[in-house]
Amino acid sequence: MAKIKTKRERVKFASDNVAGACPEVLDAIIKANGPKAYFWLNDYFRLEGMAYRFVPVKYESGTGIDYGKVDTEIMYENLMSKFSYGNMELPEVYLDETNRRLSYNLRTIFGRLANEFIVEGDNEKAVEVLDFAMEKMPAEKFGYNYFVFGIIDSYYKAGATDKARELTNAFADHLDAELDYFSAFDREDRKRAANEWRTNLQFYQMLLQNVQVHDQDSVQEFYQRFQLAAQPFGNGRG
């Protein structure tokens, strides 16, 4: 067999000889470092849950790391019915740092499924998926972090404005408490904690941007709330 040298040759060989004979499954929870880590096969991925299935059908992945095409029927059945989550939502079940970190990407996976339902015009199923995600990964246990933004955005897009507002305000409550804590620091301590409070301000700005895009009725009130929280930190230099 001739030696395979180029990206084009690798993709063609895999598509012609591997995917049809033995569909491979690749982890979708641990994000690889770009298409290179997947041997540039990401356009042949189909997301069916927590893993990509490598199939002999090309899908354009677009930008970012959300590769392949979502199979809503299979993925819905897997995430909502077949998979077991080990009671991870219960307060008495301990999750170490590794498990908590992996669980954050689950929010992204549920968000992708919800967004695909929105594209298909099935907002009801999209909201059902988002509700299930927040039930299994409640913010009270899993925290408010970057991965919550996709859930909020999807709630808005699915027309569940009240749920999006509720989650947005709960996130803002968390940020208010954090920023209030840091505002009591003296100058030197605040400087040492700059990464933390600047991240909180950035998250607040992201929430505000989301409100500006999706919820015009709440923009003025939320903007005033953000200004009040950010005031002790001046221009971001603390």
Question: What's the pLDDT score for residue 37?
Answer: 60
The phi and psi torsions of 143 (rounded to 5 degrees) equal 80, 170
Question: What's the pLDDT score for residue 163?
Answer: 97
Question: What's the pLDDT score for residue 93?
Answer: 92
Question: What pLDDT, in 10s, does the model give residues 149-203?
Answer: 999 999 999 999 999 999 999 999 999 999 999 999 999 999 999 999 999 999 9
Work out the number of other CB atoms within 10 angstroms of the CB of residue 198.
15
Q: Is 58 helix (H, G, I), strand (E, B) or coil?
A: coil
- Give alpha helix (H) positions in 88-232: 97-120, 123-136, 139-142, 148-157, 161-183, 187-192, 194-214, 219-230
Question: What's the pLDDT score for residue 65?
Answer: 61
Question: What's the pLDDT score for residue 36?
Answer: 63
Question: What's the pLDDT score for residue 57?
Answer: 80
The radius of gyration computed from the CA coordinates of the chain, to the nearest angstrom, equals: 21
Question: What's the pLDDT score for residue 64?
Answer: 58
Low-confidence ranges of the chain (pLDDT < 70): 1-40, 60-65, 235-238
Question: What's the pLDDT score for residue 144?
Answer: 93
Cα torsion through 53, 66, 132, 225, rounded to 10: 170
Question: What's the pLDDT score for residue 221?
Answer: 96
Alpha carbon of residue 225 to chain centroid: 25
Question: What's the pLDDT score for residue 97?
Answer: 84
CB of 48 closer than 8 Å to CB of 18: no
Question: What's the pLDDT score for residue 116?
Answer: 95
Residue 126 token pair: 């999209």
Question: What's the pLDDT score for residue 21?
Answer: 42
Question: What's the pLDDT score for residue 179?
Answer: 97
